[in-house]
Structure 1
């Protein structure tokens, strides 16, 4: 998994797979989901990042793994 923030484009892209995207669907205004040929999600793009997260500090991104239940 890879997270890319392009400040110049004001966009964020989350790569979930190295498989090439065969189609893209806009699921919400400015939010796009890329699918591979088997219809699996391979990436998610979010435009207008500064408007969606105006206080985002890219130096302080946190990643959290939630433990499995049970």
Structure 2
């Protein structure tokens, strides 16, 4: 299965709790989603199966309370 890389700027990402919440929300979309979140740079990098769209990832981030900029 091919994967697609996505990158988001998430202004509200500020601590380990935020990273855990963002990771849980994104991995709930698909078990093969990989998340790298860095509170220092406010960057979230996502490697997701091709069937998971950027819009779905954005929606999951927003629903978790961490809307991307």
TM-score, normalised via structure 1 length: 0.32
Structure whose residues are more often helix by fraction:
2
Point out which structure has higher relative CO (alpha carbons under 8 A, 6+ apart): 2
Larger radius of gyration: 1
